[in-house]
Amino acid sequence: MRILLTGGAGFIGQHVLRAALAAGHDVLVLDNLRADVHPVPSWTPPDGAHFLRGDVRDADACDEALREVDSVIHLAAKVGLGVDISDLPDYASSNDVGTATLLARMAAAGRRELVLAASMVVYGEGRGECEVHGLSRGLPRTPEHLEAGDFEPRCVTCGRVLAPALVAEEVAADPRNAYAVSKLAQEHYATTWARETSSSATALRFHNVYGPGMPSNTPYAGVASLFAAASRRGEAPRVFEDGGQRRDFVHVRDIASAVVAAAEQPREGFRAYNVGSGTPRTVGDLATELATALDGPAPVVTGQWRLGDVRHITADSAAIRRDLGWAPREDFAAGVRELAVSGS
């Protein structure tokens, strides 16, 4: 199969590229090598891959890339929570306009198979368990509560603190920052495209991805990369809130295998799948593991907070296991050690 891989020079993209090549596929990478991801704007693809430098917002670049491909894996996006409100136009342009342009050109070229890199951020707080009302959506956290150190989400009906619960794909979306809004918009565009062109669109909602090659020299870097970079400098990782935020940390090689599995098994219409390890861990756990692996100082819990953050979001990935036969294989402790020694 000949695959167009957008964003293939990025952190996740390079792992997906290696997995696709190892599975015997022919891969063309389309990437604009944007400066906030690639400080040195050059990249050489591995043997067996082809590279076209271009932007998915450019219809001509998309048309050139879409010639003679069977399937598209769309990873190209601006990632991260964002620095401030001035990031809004870039998220909308990079993620929403980019996806809309690519899909329009796919329709024109008659390309009918898409795998979209989606994100768990679309769920917001997801849901939790209220001792009175059962599964409940968490109320948005307010600056007043966060400043007082009251970090836990509360039941929308009675205001009681919610116990964390796994989030399945049918939970309604509730994006709470610019990145989340843009990722949900990508899914809506893909849904519309799949319906109107009788095509296949599989959105993989990645949970917190970590592993070798994570960028650390950008304000949009992931938390695992930021913690590792601090430990390498001999500094204590700084953990926001009280460190009890629950996440599902999933290794990038497991993400890559899920992407390739989805590309090899297109499904009619639009379908979204969670992609997580299935084992919730706290942000504090991750910081401690990395500090220990790098023989650095213990993490410092700062109590600082960001309004766009969510408290707990952990996946139920049963559907992708059932439908695509995918399962995570990477051990968390070994993966953290690998990240620690990789220098990324």
CATH number of the domain encompassing residue 281: 3.40.50.720
Examine the pLDDT at 219 and tell me if it is beyond 60: no
Read off the pLDDT of residues 172-196 as tens digits, 9 standing for 90 and up. 998 988 999 999 999 999 999 999 9
Q: Write out the residue range of the structural domain in which residue 135 sits.
A: 127-166
Q: Which of 69, 67, 87 is nearest to 78 (CA)?
A: 87
In a shared domain, residues 239 and 145: no
Give residue 330's pLDDT. 96
Closest CA to 302 of 181, 149, 194: 149
- The reply to whether 48 and 182 lie within a common domain is yes
**pLDDT of 115 strictly over 80:** yes
Same domain, 133 and 21: no
* Predicted pLDDT of residue 13: 97
Q: How many domains does the chain have?
A: 2
Asked if residues 169 and 205 have their Cβ atoms less than 8 Å apart, the reply is: yes
Residues 147 and 24 in one domain: no
Percent of the chain's residues with pLDDT above 90: 76
Q: Mark which of 118, 148, 166 sits at the end of a domain.
A: 166
Q: For position 138, what pLDDT does the model report?
A: 84
Cβ count within 10 A of residue 224:
26
Same domain, 178 and 277: yes
pLDDT in tens, 53-105: 999 999 999 999 999 999 999 999 998 866 678 889 999 999 999 999 999 99
214 and 174 together in one domain: yes
pLDDT beyond 90 at 305: yes
Give the tokens for residue 318: 């049963």
Claim to verify: residue 186 and residue 172 sit in the same structural domain: yes
CB contact at 8 A, 15 and 36: no
Q: Which of 166, 190, 225 is the last residue of a domain?
A: 166
Strand partners, 5: 29, 73
Average pLDDT over residues 238-251: 94
* HEC assignment per residue over the chain: CEEEEECCCCHHHHHHHHHHHHCCCEEEEEECCCCCCCCCCCCCCCCCEEEEECCCCCHHHHHHHCCCCCEEEECCCCCCCCCCHHHHHHHHHHHHHHHHHHHHHHHHHCCCEEEEEEEHHHHCCCCEEECCCEEECECCCCHHHHHCCCCCCEECCCCCECEECCECCCCCCCCCCHHHHHHHHHHHHHHHHHHHHCCEEEEEEECEEECCCCCCCCCCCCHHHHHHHHHHCCCCCEECCCCCCEECEEEHHHHHHHHHHHHHCCCCEEEEEEECCCCCEEHHHHHHHHHHHCCCCCCEECCCCCCCCCCEECECCHHHHHHHCCCCCCCHHHHHHHHHHHCC
- Could you say which of 166, 193, 222 is where a domain stops? 166
- Do both 269 and 336 map to the same domain? yes
114 plus 34 within the same structural domain: yes
The pLDDT value recorded for residue 218 is 58
Angstrom distance (rounded) from CA 214 to CA 161: 34
Assess whether 257 and 306 both reside in one domain.
yes
158 and 83 share a domain?
Answer: no
Residues 126-146 have a mean pLDDT of: 90
